[in-house]
Structure 1
Amino acid sequence: MQCERRPALFSGLGVVDAVLKETCPVLRLGVMDAVLKETCPVLGLGVVDAFEPVIQAGNEMLVHHILLYACPSDVSLSSAPGECYIPNSAFFQCWQILAAWAIGGKGLQFPDNTGLSLGAPGDAVYGKLEVHYNNPNGTFTDSSGVRLYYTNNLRQFDAGVLEVGAHVVDPYVFIPPQAQSYHLYGLCKTDKFRDVNGQDVADMQVFAYFLHTHLAGRAVEIAHFRNGSQIGFLGRDMTFDFNLQESRYMENITTVRMGDTIQVDCTYNTMDRTSVTVGGLGTMQEMCLGFLYFYPRNNISNCLSSPNLTYTNQALNLSSPSDINSIQWSKDTIDLAQRTIRMANQSIEIYSNQQSVSDSGSLSNITEPASATCNNATFDLPAATSAPGTNDASSVPLFNSARSGTLQCLTALLGLSLLFLQAALGTNM
C-alpha cells in the first residue's frame, strides 16, 4: 500500500491516494491479499468530502471493483501476505465499508452536512483496501486504489455505508441456465439493529446508493417498507449495465427508521449460459448487493440474507446444495426454483465489525412506481475549478438540486488517521 499526498485541486481541500504498490502481483489463478501496513504518520482530524477511483493506465478492463473498509480499532495487524475472505485472518474483521466503486463508475461527493470522519475518537485507525480483478490472461502488476478528498472543516454528521442484499457465497444464491428473467433477493429487517449497534440507532438519512451485480444482472431494486407496506425505493435501476456501475444520489433524502424493512430484488438473464451460475466473487459468478450512503453513522456494516436451506432442499427435492448441478433445467424446473426461492423464509444476518445477530422474515411484493427518475451521483473532480461548497455551481455536481459542493482480490492495510496535517494547519499540500 502506498499513501501519496497530492497537490490540492481546491483551496482548503487536500488529496490523498490510497493505492496498491505496483510490486503487488495479480495472479491468474487463486485469490490473495497483498497486505502492507501503511507507514504514513497520524496527521490529525478531518473529513473525507469525496472519493474517486484511481485505476492504473492499461488495467481499466482488469480492475473489477474496489472497496475501502474500516477495521476495528483493536484489530491485530500483520504485514504478511494472506488470502482474502479467510475467517482466521485479521482482514476478516474489517467489514465497515467506507467507499465502494465498480467498473464504469467515477466517484461520489458527500452533501455539505456530512462526510467520512477520520481521526476522531472512536474512528477506525486502519482500513482495508480491497481490489478485485477479472484476470483471465496471466500475471500482471497493479497500483489501482482510491483517491480521497479531505478537509478540516468538520461536518454536522458522520456518514456511514450499509451493505444490503443476498449473502455473496450461499448454496442457494444460484441462477439456472437459459433463464430469461430470474430473481434473487436480499432481506434486511432493522428491528435488531440496536442489538448489533450496542446502543439506540438514530434514523438513517439515505442520500445516495450504489447497486452491484455481475455480468448476468439486468435490474436491481431496493424497496423500502414500513409497517408492512412499501413506501418507496432506496435505489432502482431497471436497465442495469455491468459496465456502467455508478453511485447515484437519491431524488430526495429518505429516512429509514428502526423497524423498517429493506428488500433487494435483482433480475438476471442467463440465456447465453449452459450451466448453473452460482453466487461468488468471480465475474462469471453472481452477486445481488446494494450499498446505502447515509447519516448519521452507526456501527452496522452489513445486513444480508439467504433463503431457508431446509425449505429449499425439500421443495427442490435436493439432498445437498450441490445437487442443483444435476437438475435437468427446463422452463418448468426454472419456474419451480424461482417459486421456491421467492416463497422461502429468509435467514438474515446483521453485522458490525465486532459481532453479528440473526433474524428472519419473509419477502414482500414490490410495487413498481408509475414513473422513475435517474439521478447520477458520479462526478469528475479533476474538471472542477473550485472547491465543493463554493457558489460556482458549474464546477461541482448538484445534490438534490441544491448541492453546494476468474476473479482476483488484493487487499492492503492502511492507516486511516493519516490524512489531515496540511489541511488542519490551513496550508497547501
Structure 2
Amino acid sequence: MINLNHCLLLLALILSNSLAHAVTLQTYTPVSERLPIDLASYTSGNANFMHDLYRLFWKLNLDAEVPSIDIALDVKTGGCEAKSTKEERIFDYEYANTPTPILARETVYMCTGFEFNPPHPTNASLLATGHIVEIRPMIDPATMPYVHHYIVGACKGNTEKYRSMVGKPTECMTNGFDVMDVCPIMVYGWAVGSGPLVFPPVAGLPFGDPSDPFDTRHLLLQVHYDNQMPERTPAGLHDTSGLVIRYTFDKRQHDTALIHLGDGMVMGDPMPFGTEGKRRELEYTCPGECTALWPWDITAFASSLHMHKYGRQMWSSITSLATDPDVVTTTTDLDRTDFYEFEFQHVSHIHKVIKRGDRLNVHCVYDTSQNLFPHMRPNDTKVSFGLASEDEMCIDYIYYYPRFPNQPDNSICGMSLYLPAIP
C-alpha cells in the first residue's frame, strides 16, 4: 500500500529525472485529516503543470465505508503542443459551439456543422490551404457534467443535409438521424480527462483543397450528452463546448487520418452480470490478411483507448507475423492502460510503425459483477454495447500517417472474440 506522501515523493522523483516515456500511477490510501497538498487550489479534480507535461488527477470517495482518495499521475513528455519554427508559423482558430440546450433525457447526441476556412495569408481572393497541426478541447465549465464525449468529423460540404446542420444544433444518432453518409471521416475525439491531439512535425490534417474529398474545411461537432438525473435538469441550460484548431499555411510532408480498431461499429454481444465471473475480457482482431491490403505501411502517432464505466483494463498490440520459419513472430504494445478509469481518459502520443501484414489486437477487460446503474436501469441483467453511457464500448482510435487514398474504406478494422470470464 502506498500512502499519499510516498506518491508525492515519487512524483518529485519523476519530475527530477525527466522520464522520456509515459508513466501512469494510481494509488489507494485512506484520507488523512490534513493533506500535504491543497486540493482547493486545483480545479475539477486535475491539475496540469510544467507546460502540460505532467497531470495529477484525484477522486475523493468520502461517501464510501472507508473514505479514500484515488490518485492518478500521468507523465507525458516529448512535446505536448505544436511548436512553431522560423519556417512555419502557427495560428489559432477558436470555435465555441452554437448554444445547445441540455435536454431532460438520459442520452442525447447533438450534431452541429461549422466551417473552418481561414483567410488566405496574402490574397483574400484565394482559397487558403495548409495543415491542422493541433486540436485542443474547450469544454464549457457550466455544462461539463453533461458532456460525455464529442467527436469532430469531416463532411461533404455541398450536401443539403450537411448545410442544414451548419450553425444549427440537430439531434442525431439517438433519434435515427444518421450523419455518417455526409460526414464519414472522424478527425478528432475528446472524452472525459483527455487533452489535446498534437500532430508530429512531418504531418497534419489538410485543409483548403476542393479536390480532396476528405478536406477539413467543412466540419461537424457531434456531442454526446449524458444526463444521469433528467428530472433535475436546470431550465434554460445551454452548452457551448468547442475546440481550438491550431494550423499552418505551410504544407507538411504527410496527411494524417484515423483508424477505429476494436468494436468500431459498437456491435459487441451483451455481457451478463454477476454469476459468470467478476471480470470479462473481450478481444478484437484486425487480421494480417486485412492490413496486407493496405497500399503502404503507416506510422501511428497517437492513440485514444475508449471504454465506459464497466471498463477496468485495456490495451492494443501489434503482432508482426513472420513468413520465414527462422524469424520469430513478435508482439509489442501499441497502447496500454492497466488501471482504466472513465474519468482519466487521455490521448497517448506514440510512434509505432505498422507494416502491411501485421495483426492488430484490442483487449478490453470489464467488471460485470453488478449493475452500476440500478437507478436508471433497474431491470437490466446484462451490459449491452451501445451509444448510452450505461452501455459499453471497446475502441482504440489510432491516428496515423501517410493517409490512405481510400481512407473511409480502411477506417474500421476488428472482429470479436469473447474470452472466458475471469473469476
Specify which of 383, 394, 398 is matched with residue 277 of structure 1: 383
CA contact (8 A) 1:223 1:234 kept: yes
CA contact (8 A) 2:291 2:356 kept: yes
CA pair 107-47 structure 1, distance change in 2 beyond 3 A: same
Specify which of 212, 229, 247 is matched with residue 150 of structure 1: 247
CA contact (8 A) 1:221 1:236 kept: yes
CA pair 126-97 structure 1, distance change in 2 beyond 3 A: same
Kindly provide the CA deviation profile for residues 310-334 of structure 1, in whole angstroms up to 9, marking residues without a partner as x: xxxxxxxxxxxxxxxxxxxxxxxxx
Pairwise CA distance, 1:193: 5.5
Pairwise CA distance, 1:158: 1.1
Kindly provide the CA deviation profile for residues 337-374 of structure 1, in whole angstroms up to 9, marking residues without a partner as x: 74399xxxxxxxxxxxxxxxxxxxxxxxxxxxxxxxxx
Pairwise CA distance, 1:226: 2.1
Partner of 1:172: 269
Q: Any gaps of 5 or more consecutive residues in structure 2?
A: 1-81, 121-127, 323-328, 372-379
Specify which of 106, 119, 127 is matched with residue 195 of structure 2: 106
Partner of 2:153: 69
Partner of 1:295: 401
CA contact (8 A) 2:109 2:222 kept: no
Q: What is the 5 A alignment of 1:274-353?
A: 275-298=381-404, 299=407, 300-306=410-416, 338-339=419-420
Matched, 1:220 2:289: no
What is the letter of the counterpart of residue 161 of structure 1?
Answer: L
CA contact (8 A) 2:143 2:238 kept: no
Q: What is the 5 A alignment of 1:88-103?
A: 89-103=178-192
CA pair 288-171 structure 1, distance change in 2 beyond 3 A: closer
Q: Give the aligned CA root-mean-square deviation in angstroms.
A: 3.1
SS at match of 1:172: coil
CA distance in 2, matches of 1:304, 1:72: 26
CA pair 173-275 structure 1, distance change in 2 beyond 3 A: closer
Give me the TM-score of the superposition, normalised by structure 2: 0.63
Give me the TM-score of the superposition, normalised by structure 1: 0.62
CA contact (8 A) 1:188 1:263 kept: yes
CA contact (8 A) 2:271 2:368 kept: no
Matched, 1:260 2:349: no
CA contact (8 A) 1:168 1:280 kept: no
Identity %: 25
Q: What is the 5 A alignment of 1:5-404?
A: 12-29=89-106, 31-36=108-113, 38=115, 44-72=128-156, 75-76=159-160, 77-79=162-164, 81-84=170-173, 89-120=178-209, 121-122=211-212, 123-124=214-215, 125-138=217-230, 139=233, 140-170=237-267, 172-177=269-274, 179-189=277-287, 191-192=289-290, 201-227=295-321, 229-250=329-350, 253-273=351-371, 275-298=381-404, 299=407, 300-306=410-416, 338-339=419-420
CA distance in 2, matches of 1:119, 1:110: 18
CA pair 301-87 structure 1, distance change in 2 beyond 3 A: farther
Pairwise CA distance, 1:189: 2.6
CA distance in 1, matches of 2:98, 2:401: 33
SS at match of 2:261: strand
SS at match of 1:33: strand
CA pair 239-41 structure 1, distance change in 2 beyond 3 A: closer
CA distance in 1, matches of 2:267, 2:245: 33
Query: Number of paired residues?
Result: 299
CA distance in 2, matches of 1:297, 1:48: 14
CA contact (8 A) 2:258 2:399 kept: yes
Larger relative contact order, structure 1 or 2 (CA cutoff 8 Å, min sep 6): 1
Partner of 1:378: none
What is the letter of the counterpart of residue 60 of structure 1?
Answer: M
CA distance in 1, matches of 2:332, 2:288: 16
CA distance in 1, matches of 2:286, 2:175: 25
SS at match of 1:185: strand
Larger deviation: 253-262 or 267-276?
267-276
Pairwise CA distance, 1:210: 0.9
CA pair 17-177 structure 1, distance change in 2 beyond 3 A: farther
Kindly provide the CA deviation profile for residues 213-266 of structure 1, in whole angstroms up to 9, marking residues without a partner as x: 01111111101112263431111111112111011122xx22111221111000
CA pair 151-239 structure 1, distance change in 2 beyond 3 A: same
CA distance in 2, matches of 1:173, 1:94: 29
Partner of 2:79: none
Pairwise CA distance, 1:86: 6.9
Kindly provide the CA deviation profile for residues 133-177 of structure 1, in whole angstroms up to 9, marking residues without a partner as x: 221233532111221111112211112111111245326153533
CA distance in 1, matches of 2:401, 2:148: 28
SS at match of 2:420: helix
Pairwise CA distance, 1:287: 0.6
Q: Any gaps of 5 or more consecutive residues in structure 1?
A: 1-7, 308-336, 342-429
What is the letter of the counterpart of residue 130 of structure 1?
Answer: Q
